[in-house]
Amino acid sequence: MDAVDNSQRYHEIRPMPETPETDQLSSRVINVIAKTQRIPAESIAPDSTFNQLKIDSLDGINIIFALENEFGIEIPDEGINNMRSVREVTEGIEKLMAAKAQTTSPGAV
Amino acid sequence: MNRVAVTGLGLVCALGNNVEESWRRLLAGECRIAPLSDEGNPPYKFSKGAEAWGFRPHEHFSEKDLVMLERFAQLATVAAREAVGRSGLRFDRELADRTAVITGSSVGGQFSEEEGYQRLYREGNPRVAPLTIPRTMANAGASRISLEFGIHGPTYTVSTACSSSNHALGQAFWLVRGGAVRAAIAGGSEAVFAEGLLRAWEAMRVVSPDVCRPFSADRRGLSLGEGAGMLVLENWEHAHARGARVYGEIIGFGMSSDAHHLTQLCVDGPAKAMTWALQDARLSPERVGYINAHGTGTQANDTTETEAIRAVFNSYADKLLVSSTKSMHGHTLGAAGAIEAIATLLTLQHSQIPPTVNYTTPDPACNLDVVPNQARSAPVEIALSNTFAFGGLNASLIMKRFAG
């Protein structure tokens, strides 16, 4: 068993988010994961890994699907392999949203 | 215990409309995974599949028949006709009572179901086609075959996702071997190219955006295929007495459940299925020369299957020839076991190993001789065919060359 002792994790000092936007994005990601996994959002920290949260590949597909709906983006298969923690997911989504803004902004035709 | 001869083969899939055409393409290493007839709107994330390109329903069925029969049942019937035709069996009163029909299908008649939903939910029309139930039922193929040939023995359908038709063949093998029936028409069919089903596969993220490349390091998933394979299994003495042509012999079957995870593979379950099939055939592993692998072309399947084969065959695994014909006819889900059993029997009969095509780059985690890209001549006496299904259900069938 690779049970994780979560009791300490929640009291860890979390690194300061880089920007308020990232913080907001991160909490949206956490909410999606919490809802999909049916676990309390408080049990998820910005640097929780999927392993720690006991998220397996099938759960991962569900979460990615819910994130695509939440943010109106498409996450490519290749991207999933680099999304193994809340932080990695948040960073990945940030990039995809930036790319999307670029292609849809009227000035960037 | 009776010996079990295979006296009939029938095949419809991307490779061809019959056994000969399909076998020729298997040996030529022709990948029949090509752009989909309907790319979807918006397009599916995968652009290719292995449709039964040459199958024209009207060439085989009357208009009236087509009203009753969904595509998957049409495919099953046409394959059964070829298999029974090749066997030369005539179902007189006595044999008709002692013949079984056992088919495999993962999803049954998906098109009719989706048409019904379209009327109900898109058009707001509550009047769903009256034949939706008999067209959709997973046993539609088995029932049609029984009706067409007047067969009264045990007739049923196994639905265990990608192991469906391997399980069907195993059941039929055991029924004939144990003497409950004298003959069986067994196999499976699947018609997967219905929009709702394709969207569901898309969401699962296991379909390759290009073609499937089993055991190759750059593999990116499976390619969906449709088709049917049917075999006539017959009591050895019965076949011998009537001077039947024998394509090969089925000598062992094993099945297991992972009891591990709904979709994640584990090494143990597949290894158990292979081990138990060998025990069922009373064989030592070194007697096997060829494995028709499940080989879907997903990262997880191919490494896990390699590990499982190594667990069962130990160092002898290096001497095995292992290929995935899915690289040519796609993953036909509920029909996979039957189509691949036919490929395996033809491999034994002709001493020619069909290759694993689309192979570009060796993967250290799949370090078996996978007969890359080119068919190979090699006399093989005994071969094994694997299927591993979602839900953790595994099956291995062992076949032997007929040296008559």
- The verdict on residue B132 lying in a domain is yes
Each of the 404 residues of chain B gets a pLDDT tens digit; together they read 999 999 999 999 999 999 999 999 999 999 999 999 999 999 999 999 999 999 999 999 999 999 999 999 999 999 999 999 999 999 999 999 999 999 999 999 999 999 999 999 999 999 999 999 999 999 999 999 999 999 999 999 999 999 999 999 999 999 999 999 999 999 999 999 999 999 999 999 999 999 999 999 999 999 999 999 999 999 999 999 999 999 999 999 999 999 998 888 899 999 999 999 999 999 999 999 999 999 999 999 999 999 999 999 999 999 999 999 999 999 999 999 999 999 999 999 999 999 999 999 999 999 999 999 999 999 999 999 999 999 999 999 999 999 87
A57 band by pLDDT with thresholds 50, 70 and 90: confident
Structure ipTM: 0.75
Whole-number pLDDT of residue B367: 97
Scanning every residue of chain B, which has its alpha carbon at the shortest distance from the alpha carbon of A75? B205
Strand pairing class (B4-13; B352-353) = unpaired
* B205 has a chain A CB within 8 A of its CB: yes
Nearest to B203 among A56, A65, A80 (CB): A65
| Residue pointed to by tokens 């069907």 | B168
Q: Would A81 be classed as within a structural domain?
A: yes
CB contact under 8 A, A61 and B220: no
Residue B175 CB partners (closer than 8 Å, separation 6+): B100, B102, B154, B181, B184
pLDDT at A77: 82
pLDDT of residue B280: 98
At B372, give phi and psi (nearest 5°).
-65, 130
Q: Which of B241, B276, B308 is the last residue of a domain?
A: B241
DSSP string, B345-377: HHHHHHTEEPPB-S--SB-GGG-SB--BSS-EE
Kindly state whether residues B230 and B296 are assigned to the same domain. no
- Cβ-based neighbours of B301, under 8 Å, separated by 6 or more: B222, B265, B294, B295, B388
Please state whether beta strands B248-257 and B183-190 pair in parallel, antiparallel, or not at all (unpaired): unpaired
How large is the average pLDDT for residues A49-55? 92
Report strand pairing: B248-257 vs B352-353. Answer: unpaired
Q: What is the pLDDT of residue B262?
A: 86
The boundaries of the domain holding residue A76 are 18-108
Residues of chain A with a CB closer than 8 angstroms to some CB in chain B: 56-58, 61, 64-65, 77, 80
Query: Looking at B193, B215, B241, which one is the last position of a domain?
Result: B241
Selected for mutation to probe chain B from A36, A59, A61, A80 (highest B CB count within 10 Å) is: A61
Residues B307 and B340 in one domain: yes
pLDDT score recorded for residue A12 = 45
Establish if B53 belongs to a structural domain: yes
Q: Is there a domain that residue A5 lies in?
A: no
Would residue A12 count as lying in a domain?
Answer: no
What is the set of active-site residues of B?
162, 294, 331
Residue A1 covered by a domain: no
Nearest to A77 among B205, B261, B263 (CB): B205
Average pLDDT over residues A46-64: 90
Q: Does some domain include residue A2?
A: no
Does one domain contain both B180 and B258?
Answer: no
Contacts across the A-B interface (CB distance below 8 Å): 20
Q: Does B218 touch chain A (CB under 8 A)?
A: no
pLDDT reading at A5 higher than 60: no
The pTM (predicted TM-score) of the whole model is 0.91
Cα nearest neighbour of B204 on chain A:
A61
Asked if residue B350 and residue B213 are part of one domain, the reply reads no
In A, which residues are within 8 Å of B205 by CB distance?
61, 64, 77, 80
Helix or strand holding residue B12 (H, E): strand B4-13
Domain housing B392: 252-400
Domain end residue (candidates: B218, B241, B264):
B241
Is the residue at B287 inside a domain? yes
Stretch A73-79: mean pLDDT: 86
Instruction: Tell whether B31 and B147 lie within a shared domain.
Output: yes
Q: Are residues B195 and B344 in the same domain?
A: no
CA of A16 vs chain B CAs: smallest distance (Å): 34
Residue A11 has pLDDT above 70, yes or no: no
Residue A104 lies in a domain: yes
- Interface with chain A: mutation pick from B202, B205, B304, highest number of A CBs within 10 Å: B205
- Residue in B45, B209, B262 closest to A58 by CB: B262
Neighbours of B356 (CB within 10 A): 31
Pick the residue with more confidence: A74 or A4?
A74
Cα separation, B395 vs B233, in Å, equals 18
In a domain, B246, yes or no: no
Number of domains in chain A: 1
Q: Which residues of chain B have a CB within 8 Å of the CB of A61?
A: 203-205
| Model pLDDT, residue B277 | 98
* DSSP annotation of A16: P
| Residue A37 falls inside a structural domain | yes
CA distance A77 to chain B (A): 7
Q: Which CATH number belongs to the domain containing residue A102 in this structure?
A: 1.10.1200.10
The answer as to whether A98 is a domain residue is yes
The answer on B354 and B264 residing in a single domain is yes
| Residues B260 and B132 occupy one common structural domain | no
In this structure, are B93 and B204 located in the same domain?
yes
How many helices (H) and strands (E) chain A has is answered by 5, 0
DSSP state of B222: B
What angle (nearest 5°) sits at the alpha carbon of residue B278, between those of residues B274 and B284? 120
B351 and B388 fall within a common domain: yes
User: Which amino acid is located at B218 in the chain?
Assistant: D
Question: At B396, which CATH number?
Answer: 3.40.47.10
With an 8 Å Cβ cutoff, is B120 touching chain A?
no
Same domain, B123 and B205: yes
pLDDT band at A106 (very low <50, low <70, confident <90, very high): low
Number of domains within chain B: 2
One domain, residues B199 and B307: no
In a mutagenesis test of the B interface, which of A57, A67, A77 is the best target, namely the one with the most B β-carbons within 10 Å? A77
Give the pLDDT confidence score for residue A108 in this predicted structure.
43
- Residue A3: pLDDT band (50, 70, 90) is very low
